[in-house]
Amino acid sequence: MTSPATTSTGAPPAGADRRAVARGGALTLAGSVYAAVAGFALTVLVGRWFGAELAGLYFMAVAVFMILNVVALAGGDSGLVRSLAAYRATGAHEDAWWVSTAILAPMLAWSMVVAGGLALLADPLARALVPEAAGLGRTFLLVLALTLVFSAVGQASVNGTRSLGSARPFVLLYQVWLPTGRLALLALLWVVDGPTTWLLWTWTVPLVLMDLVAFGLVRRTLRHDRLASGIAPRPRRQVLHDAWAFNLPRGLASLCEIGIKWADVLLVGLLLGPAAAGVWAAASRFVTTGIMAMEALRIVTAPMLASAFARGEEREAAEVHAMSTTWLVLVSWPLFLTLATFSPLVMAVVGPEFTTAAPALSLLCVGLLGYLALGNINSLLLMAGLSRLTAANSVVSLTLNVGLGLLLIPVWGLPGAAVAWVVALTGDSVLCVLRRRGRVDVPLPWADTAVAGGVALAAFGIPGVLVWALGAPTLPWLVGYLLVATSLLVALVLPLSQRLHLGDVRAMLAARR
């Protein structure tokens, strides 16, 4: 006899997965909202307290770290999520323990190599990126080199917590502690009027502490589950081969993806100077913050998709993807349309010298609506095991981003960087849609996404056009716009709640009660 919580095959029923998506999605979305607000505050405070030029140097250093950190990860973060979810879904806890060792141990050794390379090249790299502030740049890069020793293993572990049955550890560590710790240390540095050479420590120290805690949590949980494993383990060589055959192509894809997100900061700094890089970084970080709803849903759905594909349940994978994509459009499109409408007001919050990025911010927000409408299609293919396909797509997208950036930034300035970013991100998702055919038999939710997009455009897009035609992007107009747009959104969503998968939210709330 099977448990009420499982089917005859031992897999969770569809309703259970939908409630899990709703519960986990609500938790990670709340965490994403907090992280977004904290990230917004961090961007504003760095810009206001340290000015555009030093902010540009700060964000250029962060861009270098983010790119090298992905090199050190070598795809192990996604690989750990996928492997742990698949092995735990089938009860192979001994294999789950071994695969964590097979991924994290080589990653630690490789991280030391990457960190050592950065330390050796810190001086020439600083002189190439910021010749007018090479000394401070070198200090920042040495701080990052030390952090790289811990970061890859730690961040793979943070992601691995998502496959342990609850999103709570990930939310508390990554979405609450990390931004809170950075804000607290930044404020402390400003209050005590500490030297600017300490500025990057405020970004790296909370990261290292998070990494250490996450590593301990993952290893302790897997060790405990290993003792109760009743399934004979697979040959260790096979587990190792399967893990890294997935990880290495994924590492290339991740490097391209992070390059798309951060290469523009370096390109703008090289072509237009550190001050322009600071202004662009502030604008693009607002957009990255807005995409956190996408990240929140990916965090929850990726282990579920991996489990569904491991059990051969592509229909369940399609339902999870359709639900998350529809919710993503309903949450993210209103935010992006608001940012596009009031971009001058938003950038003025950071400081007067940052308002030059307002046109680029509007262009980014409108241009990325199509990217958001395709949902986490990359994650869908990745959890199906197609890491090589996603890697090839990401290489094409990064090439588009860098090529268009070099071509357009000198001519158009920051709007040129915005065009390059939009084309690169959207192009990656379009390639995933086109190349999935014949490989993953999961239909995409075109009709439901169109309904969600139409609702968002009617509620927030039309009032936004009226603001630009009849009013101005000022605070009073923003208040009125939000009141009208939110009322319209509620009025349009209620009769379409089933079509928009909002019944699953109600079911989740009822289950919790």
Q: What pLDDT, on the 0 to 100 scale, is given for residue 369?
A: 92
Tens digit of pLDDT per residue, the chain (513 long)? 333 333 333 333 344 445 544 455 566 667 777 887 787 788 788 877 887 778 778 888 888 888 888 888 777 677 777 777 666 666 666 767 777 777 788 888 888 898 888 888 888 888 877 777 778 888 888 888 888 888 888 888 887 777 776 677 888 888 888 899 999 999 998 888 878 888 888 888 999 899 888 888 877 877 777 766 556 666 667 766 676 777 677 667 777 777 777 777 778 888 888 778 778 877 887 787 667 777 777 766 776 777 777 777 777 777 878 888 888 888 889 999 999 999 999 888 887 778 888 899 999 999 999 999 988 887 788 777 777 787 788 888 888 888 998 999 998 988 999 999 999 889 888 988 888 776 777 778 888 889 889 999 999 999 999 998 888 889 999 999 999 999 999 898 887 777 776 665 444 434 334
**Amino acid present at 251:** G
DSSP-derived secondary structure for 356-398:
GGHHHHHHHHHHTHHHHHT-SHHHHHHHTT-HHHHHHHHHHHH
Residues 6+ apart with CB under 8 A from 442: 314, 317, 318, 321, 380, 384, 436
Q: What pLDDT, on the 0 to 100 scale, is given for residue 398?
A: 84
Q: What pLDDT, on the 0 to 100 scale, is given for residue 11?
A: 37
Residues 6+ apart with CB under 8 A from 57: 130, 133, 136, 137, 140, 274, 277, 278
Q: What pLDDT, on the 0 to 100 scale, is given for residue 298?
A: 74
Whole-angstrom distance, CA of residue 513 vs CA of residue 501? 20
Residue 281 · residue 56 · CB < 8 Å:
yes
Q: Give residue limits of the domains in the chain.
A: 14-437+444-512
Q: What angle do CA 32, 38, 42 make, to 5 degrees?
A: 140
Whole-angstrom distance, CA of residue 472 vs CA of residue 104? 53
The region, left, alpha or beta by phi > 0 then psi within -120 to 50, assigned to residue 285 is alpha
Tokens of 317: 């994978």
DSSP state of 110: H
Whole-angstrom distance, CA of residue 501 vs CA of residue 137? 49
Rg (CA), the chain: 23
Tokens of 179: 């931004």
The H or E element that residue 198 is part of is: none
Site of tokens 């369940």: 316
Tokens of 268: 């703008």
pTM equals 0.68
Whole-angstrom distance, CA of residue 494 vs CA of residue 492? 6
Give Dmax (Cα) for the chain: 73
Q: 167 by DSSP, 3-state: which?
A: coil
Whole-angstrom distance, CA of residue 9 vs CA of residue 25? 26
Tokens of 354: 């940052």
